[in-house]
């Protein structure tokens, strides 16, 4: 219709935006540039990773917003002989914002093999084009004899493209409360990662328990590499109690290495701390130094 600059289309319809997003529909009433309008009995596929089926799809905001009604969304392929995916999200309405790279679900229910297991009045997830987004990560359930059952609920904070922070609360049925932390940062010549936790529980009532660990590596130039790692803990049983590591001796070290065509150099300083029952750190080696130099010689006549 040239008067209103609209397209009335009878399908099947296939719209490919050239960025990996695909829309299939039976019927549509769209603007001439395909960025505004309504499509019925449609499927919306994002980056070949997430498929959304809807009774109606409405596009607005010059193609920025895509609103879908009576929705079923999943990234699972339907197995042969089955009519439902392993998991899917059913929702009254779904809105995709291409500029914010976010997807909002309203009145959503999570289903496994067709059975509803969770209801959420509102849910937001990043779309497949977004690599990093602030929000909750997949929760984990942990059960131990000493601590009881508990749920770890990680929350990821994307401060900037070069650094992020993950905070993970962990509350157990045995009366324990823990806040785990992981900080990562990338520099021009290296990276650092810092992990830690602070806990109050019934193992040591009234005392705070926890640990702190850091690792990093840097390019010093001229072939030299610096690497370090360190860990400290409040008590000998903490790391095992909370499933962080089974190590019974902790080592912290700083090392500089250089690898060349005909030579290798390494210099390291290491500090040791024993967690073994029956071993006293006052009678064990507390620090070690290690230096290595390898060279290859090629005599002229050989």
What burial letters (b/e) apply to 123-150, b meaning 16+ CB within 10 Å? bebebbeeeeeeeeeeeeeeeeeebeeb
Considering the entire predicted model, what is its pTM? 0.76
* 270 vs 84, more confident: 270
What separation in angstroms does the CA of 286 have from each of 240, 246, 252? 22, 20, 10
CA–CA separation, 186 vs 229, rounded Å?
16
């230096």: which residue's tokens?
291
Phi and psi angles of residue 73, each rounded to the nearest 5 degrees, phi first: -125, 140
Which pLDDT score, from 0 to 100, does residue 46 have? Answer: 83
Which pLDDT score, from 0 to 100, does residue 246 have? Answer: 92
pLDDT in tens, 129-148: 888 888 888 888 888 888 88
Output the CA torsion 292→298→299→302 (10° steps). Answer: 130
10 Å Cβ neighbour count for 230?
16
For residue 160, give every residue at least 6 positions away whose Cβ sits within 8 Å of its Cβ, in sequence order, or none. none
Q: Would you say residue 87 has pLDDT above 90?
A: no
């Amino acid at each position: 219709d040239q008067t209103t600059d609209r397209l009335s289309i009878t399908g099947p319809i296939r719209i490919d935006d050239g960025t990996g997003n695909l829309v299939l529909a039976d019927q549509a009433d769209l603007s001439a540039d395909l960025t505004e309008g309504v499509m019925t009995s449609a499927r919306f596929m994002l980056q070949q990773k997430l498929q959304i089926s809807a009774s109606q799809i409405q596009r607005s905001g010059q193609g920025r917003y895509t609103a879908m009604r009576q929705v079923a969304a999943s990234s699972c392929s339907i197995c042969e002989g089955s009519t439902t995916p392993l998991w899917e999200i059913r929702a009254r309405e779904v809105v995709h914002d291409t500029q914010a790279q976010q997807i909002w679900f309203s009145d959503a229910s999570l289903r496994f093999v067709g059975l509803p297991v969770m209801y959420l009045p509102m849910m937001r997830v990043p779309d497949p084009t977004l690599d990093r987004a602030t929000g909750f990560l997949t929760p984990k359930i942990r059960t131990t004899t000493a601590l009881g059952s508990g749920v770890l609920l990680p929350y990821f904070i994307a401060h900037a493209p070069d650094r992020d922070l993950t905070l993970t609360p962990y509350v157990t049925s045995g009366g324990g409360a823990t806040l785990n932390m992981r900080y990562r940062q990338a520099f021009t010549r290296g990276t650092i990662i810092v992990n830690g936790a602070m806990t109050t529980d019934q193992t040591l009532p009234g005392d705070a328990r926890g640990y702190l660990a850091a690792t990093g590596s840097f390019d010093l130039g001229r072939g030299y590499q610096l690497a370090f790692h360190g860990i400290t803990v409040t008590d000998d049983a903490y790391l095992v109690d909370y499933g962080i590591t089974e190590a019974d001796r902790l080592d912290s070290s700083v090392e500089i290495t250089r690898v060349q065509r005909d030579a290798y150099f390494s210099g390291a300083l290491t500090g040791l701390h024993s967690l073994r029952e029956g071993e006293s750190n006052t009678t064990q080696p507390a620090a070690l130094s290690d230096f290595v130099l390898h060279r290859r010689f090629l005599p002229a006549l050989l």
